[in-house]
Amino acid sequence: MLEIKTIVSVIAIALTFIGYAPYIIDIFKGKTKPHVFSWLIWGIITSIIFALQINAGGGIGSYVTLSVSLISFFIFFKALPSGRKQITAIDVIFLFLAIISIPIWLVVKQPVLSIVLLSTIDMLGFAPTVRKSWVDPYSETLSLYTITTFRHALSILGLAHYSIITWLFPGTWVIANALFAIMLIVRRKSMRLKKII
């Protein structure tokens, strides 16, 4: 059984890099414009969540979270030069809420409550990207979010131990990425119809 989990986890880790490759290429081409606040929050929070998953016995399935954290920091630094133009007042509020939530997690010192808080903070980090993409659905690479939905589902299957601490983060992202991908598809279709009319 452990061998199957290892294979599933390795596939999920490979999908992490495969999924992000078109996104990163689109950033270099100037087609995709990542929101710096989202990627900063995701880099910090996924690093903490990786540590919690490892501590809770998540095993190799947890390394998907680590790979996401490293890529998030890379995208954050790549987005810095151009990403500032997309910042609005509501984005600053979401960043502020996410940052003030981090010390709350440190004080709590209860793994289950910590993972709930961290997953919530991570979703707050998604808000600036959702807002930006609602206005400009072509500013994100759709394939990333569809592959990421599948990848997080695989990472759940690859976990060595199941508890709310190990599965809540990837489970939340399965739902969030799927809904975000659907939103991009619907908004793009809506914009195309408006151009025809």
Encode pLDDT of 61-96 as tens digits.
Answer: 888 889 999 999 999 998 888 655 667 787 788 778
Q: Quote the domain boundaries for residue 141.
A: 2-196
Model confidence pLDDT, tens digit, residues 9-66: 889 899 889 989 999 999 999 888 888 888 888 888 888 888 888 888 888 888 888 9
Q: How many domains does the chain have?
A: 1
Collapsed DSSP state (helix, strand, coil) of residue 24? helix
* Nearest-angstrom CA–CA distance, 55 and 12: 20
Nearest Cα residue to 101 out of 63, 127, 134, 73: 127
pLDDT at 125: 83
* Nearest-angstrom CA–CA distance, 122 and 125: 5
DSSP 12: H
pLDDT at 138: 93
163 half-sphere exposure, CB direction, 13 A CA radius:
14
Task: Note the pTM of the prediction, 2 decimals.
Answer: 0.78
Model confidence pLDDT, tens digit, residues 136-185: 999 999 999 999 999 889 889 888 888 998 899 899 999 999 999 999 99
Tokens of 178: 């799927």
Phi, psi of 56 (to 5 degrees): -90, 5
* Nearest-angstrom CA–CA distance, 62 and 49: 9
Model confidence pLDDT, tens digit, residues 102-150: 777 667 678 788 888 888 888 888 888 899 999 999 999 999 999 999 9
